[in-house]
Amino acid sequence: MQHHKFFDTMYDFDDDIELHFLHQRVLHDRYLESKALDDSDDRVDRYTRVMNKEITNILGKIAETGSLEFARPSVQTYDTDLYEQVNEDFTMCWKKTIVDHDTLIIHPTSYAGHDGRLTSSLGHVGDKLTAYDTDLLIINEDPFRMPEILYPSNLVLGCSERLNTIEKMCDEIKTYIKKEYKDIIIYVDSKHVCVGLNIAFALSDLNVRVLATSGQTSLDWDTSAWVKKYIKWADRPEALKAQFLPITPEAIMHLVKTYKFKQMGIAHKTLDPFSYLNEYDIRVDYYYGKYDNEYYGFKSYIAGIDCERLTLHEVDYKISDAQTHNIKPHIERKIFPNYLK
C-alpha cells in the first residue's frame, strides 16, 4: 500500500478515484498560482506570462464545458504547407520537402500540461527544427486519452488507442522510413527522454542516435530520481518534519504515473532504458541545463552509468530565473546545427 501526502491531504496511490482528485487538486493549485501572478505587479518573463494566461483560459473552458472536447478543433489540425502524411490517429506527420535528405529527425513533441497539449496543433514545433536540412517525423500523443492520471503517458503506452504500446508505435514509425539514411536522430526532451531510447532500441538496425535534453531519465518507481527524492523526504525523521520541500505539479504526476506503470507491470527496460544502453551500439548525447536544479537527480542517475557511448553536456542557459528547465530554444538555435554537421 502506498499513501502519500500532498496539499496537506493523504492520498492512496492504490485508489484511482483518489488519484483523480489529486490530479484535480494539482490543476486547482496551478490555477491559484496563475491567478496570483495575474493579480501581482511582479515582473516575470514573457514565457511565464503566456503560459499562465493559457492555463487560465483552458481551465475556464473545462469548467464551462465539463470536457476537453472544446480543444479538438485547434489541436487536431496542422500546417498543410509544412506537413503531410498525417496518420489515421492524428499523432504523426511528415515534413514536406522535395530535397533528398540523408538525415532524418524523429521528434516526439513534449507538451507540458493542459496549456501545451490542449493548445498545440500537430507539428507545432520550433521554426528552427523544421528549417534544418533534414527529413522530419513528428510524433504527438493523443491529448484526449483518459484517464488523466495516466495520460499523456510519456508515450510509455504508445501514442493513441490504436498504437497503445511502444512496439506498435515504433512499427508505425518504421512505415515512414522508406530509404536508408546516413543518420537517424531521435530528438527528445523532458518527459520523453526514456521513450527516445526505446525508439532507438526498436530502430537499432538502422543508423540511429539520440539527442536528449533535460528530462526524466527513468520512469521506473525504484530508480526514478523524483521518487527517491520526494518519497524519501516524506519518510524523513520526526525531527525534520517541520521542514518543507516544495514539489512541482510535474513531479507529483510523475510519481503517480511511475506507480501506475509499476502496477501495470510495464517492462523494466521500457521504464529504465539507460540501464540497458550497453546492449546497443547507439550513441546518446544528453544535454542538461546548468540551472535546472529540479531535474538534477535525473542527470546524476545516468552520470553513474558506465557506457562509453553516453555523453553528458552541460548547457549554460535559462529562459529566466523562474524558467530554468526549458533549454530547447538554445539547443535548436546554438547546438543542433553543429550537432548535425
SS (H, E, C) 215-281: ECCCCCCCCCHHHHHHHHHHCCCHHHCCCCCCCCHHHHHHHHHHHHHHHHCCCHHHHCHHHHHHHCC
Q: How far apart are the first and last CA of the chain?
A: 51
Q: 35 vs 87, which has greater pLDDT?
A: 87
% of residues, the chain, pLDDT over 70: 96
Least confident of 87-96, 124-133, 242-251: 242-251
Domains within the chain, CATH numbers bracketed: 71-340 (3.40.50.1820)
Output the pLDDT for position 47: 67
The stretch 41-45 carries a mean pLDDT of 67
Output the pLDDT for position 275: 97
The stretch 180-203 carries a mean pLDDT of 97
Output the pLDDT for position 160: 97
CB 219 within 8 A of CB 258: yes
Q: What whole-number distance in Å separates Cα of residue 108 and Cα of residue 92?
A: 9
Band (93; pLDDT cuts 50, 70, 90): very high
Q: Which residues contact 235 (CB under 8 A, 6 or more apart)?
A: none
Band (246; pLDDT cuts 50, 70, 90): confident
Q: Which residues pair with 6 in a beta bridge?
A: 9
CB 226 within 8 A of CB 251: yes
**pTM for the complete prediction?**
0.94
Q: What whole-number distance in Å separates Cα of residue 25 and Cα of residue 13?
A: 15
Least confident of 12-21, 198-207, 233-242: 233-242
Q: In what order do the strands lie in the sheet with 283-289?
A: 83-84, 92-95, 135-139, 103-108, 183-190, 208-215, 283-289, 310-315
CB 167 within 8 A of CB 202: yes
CB 300 within 8 A of CB 274: no
- Sequence-ordered strand ranges (E) for 66-200: 83-84, 92-95, 103-108, 135-139, 183-190
The stretch 133-157 carries a mean pLDDT of 96
Whether 51 has a pLDDT exceeding 90, the answer reads no
SS3 38: helix
Output the pLDDT for position 33: 84
The stretch 153-173 carries a mean pLDDT of 98
Q: What whole-number distance in Å separates Cα of residue 184 and Cα of residue 135?
A: 9
Whether 238 has a pLDDT exceeding 90, the answer reads no
% of residues, the chain, pLDDT over 90: 78
Instruction: Provide the angle, in degrees to the nearest 10, between the axes of the packed helices 166-176 and 193-202.
Output: 60
Q: Which residues pair with 136 in a beta bridge?
A: 105
Output the pLDDT for position 245: 82
Cα angle for residues 129, 134, 138 (degrees, 5° grid): 55
Output the pLDDT for position 322: 79
Q: Which residues contact 152 (CB under 8 A, 6 or more apart)?
A: 111, 117, 141, 143, 145, 191
Whether 43 has a pLDDT exceeding 70, the answer reads no
Whether 1 has a pLDDT exceeding 80, the answer reads no
- Sign of the torsion formed by the C-alpha atoms of 222, 224, 228 and 230: negative
Output the pLDDT for position 242: 79
Q: 111 vs 91, which has greater pLDDT?
A: 91
The stretch 230-250 carries a mean pLDDT of 82
Grid cell, residue 127, equals 521554426
Band (94; pLDDT cuts 50, 70, 90): very high
Least confident of 78-82, 103-107, 241-245, 322-326: 241-245
The stretch 227-240 carries a mean pLDDT of 83
C-alpha pair distances (Å), 48 with each of 38, 120, 287: 11, 17, 23
SS3 193: helix
Whether 39 has a pLDDT exceeding 70, the answer reads no
The stretch 302-306 carries a mean pLDDT of 95
Residue carrying C-alpha cell 499523432 = 91
The stretch 60-84 carries a mean pLDDT of 94
Q: Which residues of 277-291 are buried (b: 16+ CB within 10 A; e: fewer)?
A: beebebbbbbbbbeb
Q: 286 vs 2, which has greater pLDDT?
A: 286
Output the pLDDT for position 3: 87
Mean residue pLDDT of the chain comes to 93
Q: What whole-number distance in Å separates Cα of residue 231 and Cα of residue 208?
A: 36
